[in-house]
C-alpha cells in the first residue's frame, strides 16, 4: 500500500487541498451573499418590478428607457468537482442551483438600482437571460454564467422621483402607488 499512498499524496494532495479550501471559502461567501440579497430585496420590495408589458395599476406612465442589470457568477471549485461526480450518475445538481439563484437575484437588484438612479418608479416587461461564457485559457469547468435582467423603466404620473440620487439601494424604498 506504500506506493499507493505515495501516489495519492503526490498526485492528489494539491487538487484535494484546493477543493477543501474552495469549499469553506465558497460557503462563507455564499452565506454572506444570500444575507446581502435578502436585505436588499427587503429594501426594494415595493419597487414595481413586473413581467407585464404595461403598468398594471394605471397604464398612463412615462417611459424613461431600457434598464439593465447584469452579473457574471461562477461556482466554487468544490461544487464544480461535486457537479462533475453528479454528472456521471445523473440527477439534480444541487450545487449549481444556488449559484444561478444568486446570479438572477443579483441581476434583478442591479437593474432595480439602475432604474432608481435613472428616476424610474418601476420596471415593466422584465426579462431574464442566462448565458454561459465560453471557457478561455483554463480548461476545467466553465468560466462563468452571465445573468442579465432588463426591462423598460417607467415613471408613474405625479411621481416625485427625479432620480438624481447616487446608488438606488441606499435610498428608501418607493412605496407602491
Partner 1 sequence: MKHEPRIPDELANYDRDNPVRDLPVLLLGIAGAAAAVIVIGALAIDLLVPHVPASWEINVFNRLPIDGFATEAGTKRQLNTAALLMQRVGAHWPDNPYPVALRIIDDEAPNAIALPGGMVLLTTGLLEQVESENELAFVLGHELGHFRNRDHLRGLGRGVVTMLVVGALTDGLLADVGGVLGDVALRSYSREQEHAADAFGLELMYAEYGHVSGADAFFARQHEKSIKDRANDAAYFSTHPLENDRITALSQLAERNHWPQKGRLVVPDWKAELARDDES
Partner 2 sequence: MLLSNIEEVPGKRIVEFYGIVTGSTVRAKNVGRDIMAGLKNIVGGELKGYTELLEESRKQAIERMVTQAESVGANAVVNVRFSTSSVAQGAAELFAYGTAVRVD
Q: By C-beta, is 54 or 66 nearer to partner 1?
A: 54
Contact indicator for 139, 168 with CB cutoff of 8 Å: no
- Smallest separation (angstroms) from partner 2 to the CB of 177: 15
Write phi, then psi, for 129 (nearest 5 degrees).
-125, 140
Q: Specify the pairing of strand 144-155 against strand 122-133.
A: antiparallel
Query: Pick from partner 2, partner 1, none: which does 156 bind, CB < 5 to 8 A by kind?
Result: none
- Smallest separation (angstroms) from partner 1 to the CB of 149: 15
36 to each of 42, 87, 169, 171, how far by Cα in Å? 10, 31, 12, 16
Query: Pick from partner 2, partner 1, none: which does 13 bind, CB < 5 to 8 A by kind?
Result: none
Contact indicator for 144, 72 with CB cutoff of 8 Å: yes
Interface residues with partner 1 (CB under 8 A) are: 2-4, 6-8, 10-12, 15-16, 23, 34, 38, 41-42, 45-48, 56-57, 78-79, 81-82, 84-89, 94-95, 97-98, 100-101, 105, 140, 176-177
Amino acid at each position: 500500500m506504500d506506493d499507493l499512498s505515495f501516489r495519492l499524496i503526490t498526485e492528489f494532495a494539491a487538487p484535494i487541498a484546493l477543493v477543501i479550501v474552495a469549499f469553506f471559502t465558497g460557503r462563507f461567501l455564499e452565506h454572506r451573499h444570500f444575507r446581502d440579497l435578502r436585505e436588499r430585496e427587503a429594501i426594494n420590495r415595493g419597487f414595481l418590478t413586473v413581467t407585464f408589458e404595461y403598468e398594471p395599476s394605471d397604464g398612463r406612465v412615462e417611459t424613461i428607457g431600457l434598464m439593465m442589470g447584469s452579473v457574471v457568477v461562477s461556482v466554487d471549485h468544490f461544487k464544480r468537482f461535486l457537479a462533475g461526480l453528479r454528472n456521471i450518475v445523473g440527477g439534480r445538481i444541487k450545487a449549481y442551483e444556488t449559484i444561478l439563484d444568486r446570479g438572477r437575484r443579483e441581476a434583478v437588484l442591479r437593474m432595480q438600482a439602475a432604474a432608481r438612479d435613472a428616476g424610474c418608479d418601476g420596471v415593466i416587461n422584465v426579462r431574464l437571460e442566462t448565458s454561459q461564457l465560453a471557457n478561455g485559457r483554463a480548461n476545467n469547468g466553465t468560466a462563468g454564467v452571465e445573468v442579465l435582467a432588463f426591462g423598460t423603466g417607467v415613471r408613474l404620473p405625479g411621481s416625485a422621483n427625479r432620480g438624481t440620487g447616487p446608488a438606488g439601494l441606499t435610498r428608501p424604498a418607493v412605496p407602491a402607488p
